[in-house]
Chains A and B, each alone.
Chain A
Amino acid sequence: MWKRSLSAGYTCYGCRSVGPKRLWGYHAVRSCSAPALPAGRITARQAADLWERHFAERGVTEPDHSSHYILAYLLGAKTMESLEQEKLTEFLSPEKTEQMWKLCSKRLSRMPVQYVIEEWDFRDLTLKMKPPVFIPRPETEELVELVLTDLQMKPGTEVGTQETCLEVGCGSGAISLSLLKSWPQLKAFAVDQSQDAVDLTGENALRLGLQDRLQIHHLDVMKDAETVLSLCSSVSVLVSNPPYLFSEDMAALEPEVYRFEDHAALDGGNDGLEVIKHILTLAPQVLSDHGRVYLEVDPRHPPLIQRWVEVNVEEMHYVETRHDISGRPRFCILRKEKDHKLDLD
């Protein structure tokens, strides 16, 4: 899937479209559209301004932020705002200038900034980013917040209580690793249908020293439900940011998303619910009693999910819909509750 989307990127700019990824680089792109390397020395701010203008002319989205993030990354900071002011007026070394040109040329091809600098922040973690693994969005930081708040409120979760969590579709590992980082008594299982995602989650876990409490498996919940069940049961939290876009919306995505990110992590079928339904069917079997499901979804989904679960999944109860920072219905929380009749038997 991702090979196809990348090759779309090549043809678009008339560059050679065959060959492995590493050949597709700076020289080819520069010859297409990048401004020439400056003859003399330029300051950091001049370089940022020059690329900002160039991005804007070429219709690259967020031209200012793109050039600022790339420059900040090269100068060892995270944002332009957190850079020391003096550094901006200093001249860039020839090496840094060349790197700036190389990275900005990648951005010119609409590659997302996160892939260009190969890292991004998620809550208090800095994670490695690698195409085509899905880049975590800010809304998902709020999903983690919801889970953590509930864990804190839950009675009997003092130090020493072992909690287990399952994440479906871990991508770069953002959700699981954030939870593990913030909750030292937690153990997590993470599964993804993409080998690239599994590898990247593993790499990020290792970088953050969280590998001991995380088990990562290359599994597809749509096909390998049995295997998932054999690996973990009685988890207290099932969390997922599943692919939830409606297939018909896919074509309208920005090139950054459409051409570079794994479609399998975005496309949720005709109603965007394909993977969500599989997760909810699996939920009562993997969750412990009163265990909870936390899902990030499309704003149109919550009422659909509530109705579907009531009809199709026993023991799962829809708890509530939560909104994201911009006020959209974005998160669904469900709880497993064994029927009283069964308890009485």
Chain B
Amino acid sequence: MDQLLFAVSTIIVGVFGCVAYFYFSNILLDRIYPAKGPNAGANINKANAIRPWLFVLPALLVLSLYLVYPVFSTFFLSMRDTRGEFVGVDNYVWLAGDDKFRESLGNNLLWLVIVPAASTFFGLVAAGLTDRIKWGSVAQSLIFMPMAISFVGASVIWKFIYDYRGDNQGEQIGLLNAIVEGLGGTAQTWITMPFWNNIFLMIILIWIQTGFAMVILSAALKGISEETIEAAYLDGASPLQIFFKIKIPQIWGTIAVVWTTITVTVLKVFDIVFAMTNGQWGTQVLANLMYDWMFRGSPDFGRGSAIVMVIMVLVTPVMIWNISNAHKENR
């Protein structure tokens, strides 16, 4: 209970602190440059030049300290060894030769290809289908729901599906193995099955992200002008033709946005791998490998930082693309 009190008092201090800062800094500015007296005109201009910075200052400070500074700091740390000595690119050279790193990078690339593609595909199918029926919005809610579930919760849900019982442990209680046995197959330990276990982990993220893709794509589909569809319909196009030849080409931009957003999520995937396998059996990914190097018995912040920089580099193209898009929008 004490800690909840602590939390509530933090909220009060935080909220009042913020409000007080904004309120008093504005008043102070008006005192220093009063909008009256001999220099009223010049004072108003000066105050107007400063005021926006008062508004953005707290956000800028927090962002600089918690996101911008760490990017540079991590970059410099990645060139140091465990004792803090400068070692140049040694950590990167070590990475290039490390089996676990190669495995992680390979797996990350596999995730990068499969998860965005599958999520976008299922999202598109779900959006296209649910738009046409009466209970579409209910169906969308249900498909969208996994978005609210934590990756850890989702991992428990799916670990139960992949559960395996050995020969003497009675009937299969995992849904997948029960189905496989029901169809006459042999139960498997899916989580340890080389290569394919990666796919089984990816299914979890696809299950979560499909709802996101569906919601965005569904909105885009609704935004398509009726006229083009009407025209195609009158020309005798089938519903499938209308979907693939008229609707999809008009929402390419949105599909790209969905794809890249999921790509960024995939690059940072950690919780699922950590909870399901902790990187064993050939399922290691960069984010989990980095966590290993950071928190293992004898942490190596240099190597950990080098791994983070690799993730950072992989994210950069998306970042640049996003910035240029936003720039176009604002013009």
A binds B: no
CB within 8 Å of A: which residues of B? none
Chain A interface (Cβ < 8 Å from any Cβ of B): none
